[in-house]
Structure 1
Amino acid sequence: MTYSDTDHDVKPTASTAPVKKTVKERQFKGMSLSERKQARRDKLIEAGIEAYGSQGFFSVTVKDICVEAKLTERYFYESFKKSEDLFQTIFLQLIEQLQQTVMQGVMQASPEPRQMIHSGLRALFSMLKDDPRTARIIYVDAMLVQELHNHATIQETMGRFDRMIQAFVMLMMPRIPRSEQEISLVATGLNGYVTQIAVRWVMGGFRQSLDEIVSACETVFLSLLETFAEHAELPG
């Protein structure tokens, strides 16, 4: 039996070509490796909220977080390089929830500007009082971390409320004869005012009533509306 030269150069056909297998992640207790890693990360975040929110960022160690989460330290470093990274993750998550809560409060009272202001402020301060951990992390520890470490992410994130207030003013009074830059400065001032009241309220243990706090903030917002309304007609 003889072979031709081409017999040694046979190209694989569809039936002979190697089949590339899809590698599946090993399952453990019905969860893949990536799912288990995410579950551990979620536990660390929950543990961080509890520990930082009750004791303060500067009093909590990585070991404390792991004890709270019931995980070893190697799992902490699987998700985070250092405690500041976990704190930043928690801060961003909580500030997003707070912003959504405020926006929902504002929109529920639309389109009447005064009711929108009242509803938005009440939503903000109600969330802080209902979960003091969130209040401490956002309005106490985050401020300290930013001040001590010049944390750009925290500073930029808090600026979201500046832009939210600015958007509210421009929405309510689109024909106001003021420059966008001036309205931006006013929004920053209003945000700073609300932030300082929130800090004082949180650090004071929420001794003043929710109604008093909302009223104190509302006064400044309403004064702004009255001043701007002299030159622009409010909707509704």
Structure 2
Amino acid sequence: MTRTWAGTTLDDRRAARRARLLAAGLDLLGTGGSGAVSVRAVCRRAKLTERYFYESFTDREQLVVAVYEDVAEQLRQALIDAVPDTRAEPAARAEAAVTAAVELMVDDPRKGSVLLLAPVTDPALSARGVALLPAFAALVREQLPARLAADEREMTALGLVGSLSNLFTAYLAGTLKVSRARLIAHCVRQLAQAGS
């Protein structure tokens, strides 16, 4: 029999504490960068003791990677959900995908910072960004016309992911000074041209 306290099980309480720690990690990493994330700072933000931190994570690096992977999965799922119909016109698919990415990474710049800026400065994330590139390239590759040779589709997908990542990185860092609408339009045009 599972014991409950205040109507929740121990597993439920652990999951809730882990979610609070992840939310605190996202907030700190996404607004203050790598240097803002320490076990103590995360616990203070989550209003939990270090005991509960170590219940979920072995160290700061494991938390940082978990935050990154959680946001990356949110982006992957948002892109999949945005383009359910591969028969739609390339421009419509591109606009849906770019809008989903902007809503996740620009409208909540913490998430964009975690995905694109933090891997540049946090050693725990450097390899993760490289490791996730093929998964996002595969999503793009699936949208490209089947008439293209396999190697052409692969190179095009990798090139698009690299290009779009750099555009979003510059936009989030403030070095690309265009409107949100211009950013979306440019990204849509790149994807639609590749898929036509």
Assess same fold via TM > 0.5. yes
- TM-score, normalised by the number of residues in structure 2: 0.89
Say which structure is richer in helix: 2
Work out the CA distance in 1 between the residues paired with 2:174 and 2:142. 31
Give the 5 Å matches for 1:128-147.
128-145=105-122
1:103 offset after TM fit, Å? 2.4
Q: Considering only aligned residues, what root-mean-square deviation do their CA atoms show, in Å?
A: 2.2
Work out the CA distance in 2 between the residues paired with 1:112 and 1:191. 20
- Max Rg structure: 1
Contact 1:117 1:221 survives alignment (8 Å): yes
Work out the CA distance in 1 between the residues paired with 2:116 and 2:127. 16
* 2:160 aligned partner, one-letter code: L
Aligned position for 2:166: 196
Residue by residue over 1:151-185, the C-alpha shift from the partner in whole angstroms, topping out at 9 and shown as x without a partner, is: 4443222321111111111xxx2233x2x123212
Contact 1:88 1:154 survives alignment (8 Å): no
* 1:175 aligned partner, one-letter code: R
* 2:167 aligned partner, one-letter code: I
Higher RCO, Cα 8 Å, sep 6+: 2
Aligned position for 1:115: 92
1:47 to 6, 17, 24: 24
Contact 1:129 1:206 survives alignment (8 Å): no
Aligned position for 1:183: 153
> Quick one: percent identity of the two aligned structures?
27
Aligned position for 1:38: 15
Work out the CA distance in 1 between the residues paired with 2:35 and 2:130. 19
Question: Is the counterpart of residue 158 in structure 1 residue 116 in structure 2?
Answer: no
Q: Could you list the runs of 5+ residues in structure 2 that have no partner in the other structure?
A: none
Work out the CA distance in 2 between the residues paired with 1:94 and 1:36. 22
Question: Is the counterpart of residue 57 in structure 1 residue 27 in structure 2?
Answer: no
Seen in structure 2, the aligned counterparts of structure 1 residues 28 and 184 have a Cα distance that, compared at 3 Å, is same
Contact 2:43 2:50 survives alignment (8 Å): yes
1:207 offset after TM fit, Å? 4.7
Seen in structure 2, the aligned counterparts of structure 1 residues 144 and 85 have a Cα distance that, compared at 3 Å, is same
Q: Could you list the runs of 5+ residues in structure 1 that have no partner in the other structure?
A: 1-23, 227-236
1:175 partner SS = coil
Report the count of equivalent residues. 196
Seen in structure 2, the aligned counterparts of structure 1 residues 67 and 223 have a Cα distance that, compared at 3 Å, is same
Give the 5 Å matches for 1:53-132.
53-107=30-84, 110-132=87-109
Question: Is the counterpart of residue 212 in structure 1 residue 192 in structure 2?
Answer: no
Contact 1:122 1:214 survives alignment (8 Å): yes
